[in-house]
Copies of this chain bind each other. A is one copy, B any other.
Amino acid sequence: MTDSNDKSDINLLAGSLAYAIKQAQVRCYEILFDFYGPNALTPGRMTALCLIGVQPGISQSALAELLKVNRASVIKVVNNLQALGFIERRPSPSDKRSQALFVTDQGHGELRRLTAITHDYEELVAAELTAAERKTLFRLLAKTAINPARPLSGRAED
């Protein structure tokens, strides 16, 4: 039993593009945590801060959808960024249920700081790639894992 000569059933990792992507992503996070240090914003919070910066006045629900977490989960992220002084909630003028999110001056300062050091981080991530290869990798990643069941953020059968 458990004849190790037959390896035909265990090749799913070696040939898997999805696994190669996962491995690269894990390596990125290793570099990220080394690079930004233990006191930095987590990747998810950094992303949230950027998204609010790009879409000032975004609602929490819309932010949750972009982050692909639910409304309840996004609240801790928003609370945390607000407690750090990086964003603020303002009542939406058009919908009294909704909170509009904005990056504060302090938050913009943090974004500028992050942008500066992120450039070096990105250089580290792409250190072994030429400029042409980086462009190609970008293009191919964008074409990868387009989910036919979720064409517009949300399953078709929902």
Contacts and interface: CB of A to CB of B under 8 A. Distances in A.
Interface of A: 1-2, 4, 6-13, 15-28, 30-32, 34, 43, 46-47, 50-51, 53-54, 56, 68, 102-105, 107-108, 111-112, 114-115, 118, 121-122, 124-129, 133-134, 136-138, 140-150, 155
Interface of A is mostly: helix
Given A24-B21, A115-B12, A137 B144 contact: yes
A46 B128 CA distance: 30
Given A18-B32, A47-B13, A105-B2, A145 B118 contact: no
Contacts of A28: 18, 21-22, 144-145
A116 to B, nearest CB: 9
